[in-house]
């Protein structure tokens, strides 16, 4: 299901998904954080909440576009646990979602391709960097002989 283009960002996922905002039956920290995120207007969701909602599979059609906007700026951003955790959460989204939202798949794929290119470029220039180590070791060996 695709969200409307003129989506009111003041609405919460609870409202958009038609879910009741009942108190959680098992109030663990994760459940409490998820309920807070579900009750937060879309425009006010933090990066951490976006990652949490994606990892729990809640409202993907609404939060994945937000994640893509964040990842365009910094694909390896760490929002909760480690660098790249938002990217990893998106990579774990079920295939069915991507099949139903090909436009989002294409945007996310562009981010991955850009990241792949960056890694490839790093690999091409790494030998130049590593040659400094070899030169340093060679110089160090010569100075020890002297």
Single pTM value for the model: 0.82
Q: Model confidence at 143, in pLDDT bands (50, 70, 90)?
A: confident
Residues 8-17: pLDDT tens digits?
A: 799 999 999 9
Name all contacts of 10-13 with Cβ < 8 Å and 24+ positions apart. 10/41, 10/42, 10/43, 11/41, 11/42, 12/38, 12/39, 12/40, 12/41, 12/42, 13/37, 13/38, 13/40, 13/42, 13/53, 13/58, 13/59, 13/62, 13/63
> 């920290």: which residue's tokens?
29
pLDDT of residue 136: 86
pLDDT of residue 32: 93
> 């850009």: which residue's tokens?
114
pLDDT of residue 139: 80
Torsion angle in degrees (nearest 10) through CA of 42, 43, 49, 51? 90
pLDDT of residue 124: 93
CA distance 119 to 131: 19
pLDDT of residue 104: 98
DSSP 105-125: HHHHHHHHHHHHHHHHHHHHH
CA distance 51 to 49: 5
Q: Model confidence at 146, in pLDDT bands (50, 70, 90)?
A: low
Residue 7 has pLDDT above 70, yes or no: no
pLDDT of residue 17: 95
């Amino acid at each position: 299901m695709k969200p409307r283009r003129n989506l009111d960002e003041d609405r919460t996922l609870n409202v958009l998904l038609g879910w009741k905002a009942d108190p959680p039956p098992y109030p663990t920290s994760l459940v409490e954080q998820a309920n807070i995120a579900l009750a937060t207007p879309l425009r006010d969701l933090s990066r951490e909440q976006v990652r949490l909602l994606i990892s729990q599979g809640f409202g993907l059609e609404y939060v994945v576009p937000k994640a893509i906007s964040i990842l365009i700026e910094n694909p390896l951003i760490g929002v909760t646990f480690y660098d790249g955790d938002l990217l990893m959460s998106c990579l774990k989204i079920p295939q069915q979602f991507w099949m139903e939202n090909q436009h989002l798949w294409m945007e996310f794929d562009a981010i991955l391709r850009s990241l792949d290119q960056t890694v490839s470029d790093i690999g091409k220039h790494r030998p130049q960097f590593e040659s400094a180590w070899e030169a340093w070791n060679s110089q160090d060996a010569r100075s020890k002989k002297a």
